[in-house]
Chains A and B, each alone.
Chain A
């Protein structure tokens, strides 16, 4: 199959990790899954390449579409794939509201720190001072720490790994898929084409090397002074908890209301 990704793109790693995770969880096919994605490179991971149902929505609206699907068909595994532009740029409000509601879906965000599909413009995740096509003097904004934001919003599971950490990423996806409640994975990923070459890391290898050298495990980060963490990628499992889910509560409410009626 010919995938639409550029040479060296981290999306193929994320795709591999996910399919392996599903396989290792014992699924024979993707019949019980529905994939929702928006616009951008990462949105192409499931749709139409997975042999499954997929809803490729308008930009940023994959999570509300997933909300409709999951509430109506609670037994399906609803998985959202998206880039940082799609999910924390245009779609941020939907992401944090879904976490707040504890909508029981899995969201996999591929964070390549850039708007890749439109050719390398600044994203809300672009590192401070990084040069992009819309920040030619260096980015004067600070990036979102999306995983921490999602934890604060109320997610049941949240983890961040890079495409260098393939095993951890795959294991995290398995945990996310078996989490009852809102699960979020941030996969920090390389984009040599639109990001790397402008920040002086021209190949996937150089970017992966950067991930390797600059990743700090969460436990270690907690012991480190904030100034020493500048420019680092804190990786690990940020939260793992159980809370009543939106679908449970909505369907219980329906049961009660039907009895009262």
Chain B
């Protein structure tokens, strides 16, 4: 199965009933697959006039009670930024798949890159905390899409599935567990007596429009009833801090990674997405040269796993961060370890060319020798 198809099938399994999108390479197969499959499962798939309309329709559908998603790539993701902020501010669960290609601008539309990492973190205006997941296989396109829906519903927030062209377009065998083995989470619905649907202590229940709760949904600063309240700095501060905090507070449950030999290794490679696929072989090659290497693969990019990286940095001599961009997660790792160990970038951009195990090894060997 292809990565994008796995994402689409997982969305259906997760309970997605609404897709709105605008075609863009290399994300289009998600729209095409859902256009065929969603109606068969009683869902709606619609092609909108642009990406702004696509995410707006998804937000409308979510408030109408449907689990909803859109899929795009870098330029379209840029167009969605205003509404990503709106979804965050209005606590609207939805999933946005961003299949990265080489930018900026139209860039290399058909080539792989990992250049949207910081766009997922700081893309919209104002302060916010996003949840961003990063798959590195077709199996994970499936697993993490389901997880994206579950996290969106649990935390009442938009969740971004940040994949890349290689993962989205390659074909691999995947195992789809029996449906009773897949955990599906649905949003908390209000009781008839509930009155507050925004900005409460816990994550508030979410009514659907048309259910008789008279909810005013607004992207303006609002109180717990949803009413606009923009004059008081405290109301704004409390709201924005809580929206960020509801995710930060649960970061331990959200953060997800895979590690290999991190206990007593000299060097650690921190990677994510397609780049991480070269790391396993690199470690084997390094061992043959007498370098004791370990790795961490990030399945959650945001919230960033600061504590884990700080802990492992204590034992390592050096950290390498390979990426198909000009340093994005690298700076985040550097900030996190705060000078405790040297952090070295390994970057490659253009033409969708992967960083190979040999390239990684060369850089690692050179750096290790320099230190010794």
Contacts from A to B (Cβ < 8 Å)? 31-32, 34, 36, 47-48, 51-58, 60-61, 63-73, 75-76, 93-94, 97, 250, 253-254, 256-258, 260-261
A56 and B217 contact, CB distance less than 8 A = yes
Taking CB atoms, residues of chain A closer than 8 Å to B300 are: none
From A72, which residue of chain B is reached at the shortest CB distance? B64
* Contact among A56, A253, A257 for B216, CB-based, below 8 A: A56
C-alpha gap A61/B213 in the complex (Å): 23
Chain B contacts of A97 at CB under 8 A?
48-49, 53
Identify 8 residue pairs between A and B in the complex whose beta-carbon atoms are under 8 Å apart, listed by A's number: A34-B210, A57-B86, A64-B53, A65-B56, A65-B57, A69-B61, A94-B53, A258-B42
Contact of B219 among A57, A76, A257, A261 (CB under 8 A): A57
- Within the assembled complex, what's the spacing in Å between the Cα atoms of A32 and B216? 15
Please name all residues of chain B whose beta carbon is closer than 8 Å to the beta carbon of A65 when the two chains form the complex: 56-57, 59-60, 63
* Chain B interface helix/strand/loop/mixed: mixed
Q: How far is the CB of B57 from chain A (nearest CB, A)?
A: 4
Let me know if A254 and B218 touch, CB within 8 A: no
* A residues less than 8 Å from B48 (CB atoms): 64, 67, 97
Q: Please determine whether A53 and B52 come into contact, CB atoms closer than 8 angstroms.
A: no
Binding-face segment, B101-109, B220-228, B255-263: B220-228
| Set of chain B residues within 8 Å of A68, measured between Cβ atoms | 18, 20, 56-64, 66, 68
Using A48-B228, A261-B41 as known contacts, say yes or no to A31 and B53 having CB atoms under 8 A apart: no
Return chain A residues, CB-CB under 8 Å to B209.
Answer: 34, 53, 55, 69, 73, 76
Residue of A whose beta carbon sits closest to that of B228 = A48
CB-nearest residue of chain B to A251: B44
**Chain B stretch 245-284: residues in CB contact (< 8 A) with chain A:** none
- Taking the closest CB of chain B, its distance from the CB of A54, in whole angstroms, is 5
Question: In the complex, what distance in Å separates the CA atom of A258 from the CA atom of B220?
Answer: 40
7 further interface pairs, Cβ-Cβ under 8 Å (given A63-B53, A75-B210): A48-B226, A48-B228, A56-B228, A64-B48, A64-B56, A68-B62, A73-B208
Q: Provide the B8-28 mask, 1 if CB < 8 A to any CB of A, else 0.
A: 000000000110100000000
Q: How far is the CB of B290 from chain A (nearest CB, A)?
A: 57
A-B complex: 9 closest residue pairs judged by Cβ atoms: A68-B60, A68-B61, A257-B39, A64-B56, A261-B40, A72-B64, A48-B216, A65-B60, A64-B53
Whether A58 pairs with B219 at a CB distance below 8 angstroms is yes
Instruction: Give the docked Cα–Cα distance between A228 and B213 (Å).
Output: 52
**Given A48-B218, A71-B18, A71-B46: A53 and B210 within 8 A (CB)?**
yes
Q: Report the Cα distance A70→B57, complex, angstroms.
A: 10
- By the criterion of a CB under 8 Å from any partner CB, how many residues of chain B are at the interface? 47
- Most A-side CB within 10 Å, residue of B18, B41, B63, B66: B63
A72 touches B17 (CB 8 A): yes
CB-CB under 8 A from B215, the residues of chain A are 53-54
* Chain A residues with CB under 8 A of B238: none
Residue B339 at the chain A interface, CB threshold 8 Å:
no
Task: Give B44 Cβ to nearest chain A Cβ, in Å.
Answer: 5
Choose from B60, B211, B219, B226 the contact partner of A66 (Cβ within 8 Å): B60
B53 touches A57 (CB 8 A): no
Contacts of A31 in B (CB 8 A): 210, 212
The distance in angstroms between the C-alpha atoms of A75 and B214, with both chains bound, is 17
Q: Is there an interface contact between B53 and A72, defined as CB atoms closer than 8 Å?
A: no
B305 in the interface (beta carbon within 8 A)? no
**Which residues on the B side are within 8 Å of A69 (C-beta)?**
60-61, 63-64, 209
**Is B334 positioned at the interface, with any CB of A under 8 Å from its CB?**
no
In the complex, chain A residues whose CB is within 8 Å of the CB of B83: 58, 61
**What is the CA–CA distance of A216 and B155 in the complex, to the nearest angstrom?**
55
Q: Does B65 contact A (CB under 8 A)?
A: yes
Chain B residues whose CB sits within 8 angstroms of the CB of A73 once the complex forms: 64-65, 208-210
CA distance A253 to B40 in the complex (A): 9
Alpha-carbon separation in the docked complex, A60 to B86 (Å):
13
Contact between chains at B50 and A54 (CB < 8 Å):
no
Closest B residue, CB atoms, query A257: B39
| A73–B210 CA distance with the chains assembled, in angstroms | 8
Most buried by A among B41, B49, B50, B219: B49
Docked complex Cα distance between A63 and B60 (Å): 9
A64 in contact with B60 given A69-B209, A73-B208, A257-B39 (CB within 8 Å): yes
Q: Taking CB as reference atom, which chain B residue is nearest A31?
A: B212
User: How far, in angstroms, from A61 to B66 measured CA to CA in the complex?
Assistant: 19
A16 to B323, CA, bound (A): 59
Q: In the complex the two chains form, is B61's CB within 8 Å of A72's CB? A: yes
Chain B residue with the shortest CB-CB distance to A94: B53
Asked whether any CB of chain A lies closer than 8 Å to the CB of B82, the reply is: yes
The distance in angstroms between the C-alpha atoms of A256 and B48, with both chains bound, is: 22
- With A61-B52, A253-B39, A254-B39 already in contact, the answer to whether A72 and B66 are too (CB < 8 A) is yes
Complex alpha-carbon distance, A256 and B228, angstroms: 43
When the two chains form their complex, are residues B44 and A71 in contact, meaning their CB atoms are under 8 A apart?
yes
Q: Could you say which residues of chain B place their CB within 8 Å of the CB of A71?
A: 18, 44, 46, 57, 61, 64
User: Chain A contacts of B43 at CB under 8 A?
Assistant: 254
Interface centre among A57, A97, A253 (most CB of B within 10 A): A57
Are A56 and B52 closer than 8 Å at their CB atoms?
Answer: no
Across-interface contacts of B218 in A (CB, < 8 A):
47-48, 56
Q: Given the complex of chains A and B, what is the CA–CA distance between A164 and B220 in angstroms?
A: 33
B-side contacts of A256, CB under 8 Å: 39
Is B82 in contact with A58, judged by CB distance below 8 angstroms?
A: yes
Q: Are B61 and A51 in contact (CB under 8 A)?
A: no
Contact assessment for A72 and B56 in the assembled complex, using a CB-CB cutoff below 8 Å: no
